[in-house]
Structure 1
Amino acid sequence: MTTLDRIKKISKKRGFSLVQVNDKAGLGKNTIYSWKTKEPSINNLKAVAHVLNVSVEYLLGNTTDESIPSEPKRVDLADDDYIMTYQGKPIPEEDMEYIKRILNGGKD
């Protein structure tokens, strides 16, 4: 399985299209698709791994473990550059607004 195949597989599992992952990772247009014919840079792989919440090692095929062995990820809820998930599925926007209100002590 190639790196692109792994990205497709985990993206689908997370409920994202490759275009969504590409955009959230801040890559140039169709960058991920170009990996069919060329090797991705380590920085681009890190960005995609970050979006998909997997390790670069997993994307490269060096491990079958999708988890990231580092410390838990901390994200600002106001930052729209991250795709928030629960059990691998995106949290709907209306639910995210509810969660934000709860965490902010009921304040808007």
Structure 2
Amino acid sequence: MEFSERLKKLRKDAGLTQVDVANKLGISQPAYASWERGIKKPTQDNLVKIAQVLNVSVDYLVGNSEEKSNDLDNIELLFRMNSKGLTDEEKEIFRKELIEFMDERKKAFGK
């Protein structure tokens, strides 16, 4: 399945309109529509945002995986979205803390 088809299916499965998704991403509806039509591709930052809005992993979104979500993808998403401006040392600590948090979450929720 092409990226544009997967994007459209995920949006519809989530019960969202193009306008809904565009608003959540902070872009125009025509810009979003161009992705669903396969005319343009989103930036890496927008791929991360789309994955968050549609509650899937970036790998699933772009067709590299058939698994919609996994903890490593969730950690990577959180890390990318929140590590800008940190030093290398702070990034290393932050990544470790995210992994610990996800491990504790799995224990707490039995996942």
Bin the TM-score by the shorter chain.
Answer: 0.5 to 0.7
> Is structure 2 residue 10 aligned with structure 1 residue 17?
no
Structure 1: give runs of 5+ residues left out of the alignment.
73-108
Number of paired residues?
72
Whether the 8 Å contact between 1:49 and 1:55 is mirrored in structure 2 is yes
**Which deviations, in whole Å up to 9, do the C-alpha atoms of 1:36-81 show, x marking residues without a partner?**
2122211111111111111111110001111242469xxxxxxxxx
Q: Structure 2 length normalisation: TM-score?
A: 0.56
Distance 1:29 1:17 in 2: 9
Alignment of 1:42-53 (within 5 A): 42-53=44-55
Give the stretch that moved more between structures: 48-57 or 63-72: 63-72
Q: Give, as a single letter, the amino acid of the residue that structure 2 aligns with 1:51.
A: V
**Which deviations, in whole Å up to 9, do the C-alpha atoms of 1:85-104 show, x marking residues without a partner?**
xxxxxxxxxxxxxxxxxxxx
How far is the alpha carbon of 1:28 from its aligned partner?
A: 3.3
Distance 1:27 1:49 in 2: 15
Alignment of 1:18-97 (within 5 A): 18-35=18-35, 36-70=38-72
Higher helix residue share: 2
How far is the alpha carbon of 1:32 from its aligned partner?
A: 1.8
The percentage of counterpart residues that share the same residue type is 39
Structure 2: give runs of 5+ residues left out of the alignment.
76-111
Whether the 8 Å contact between 2:18 and 2:29 is mirrored in structure 1 is no
Residue of structure 2 in register with 1:103 after alignment: none
Q: Structure 1 length normalisation: TM-score?
A: 0.58
Greater relative CO (CA pairs within 8 A, separation 6+) = 1
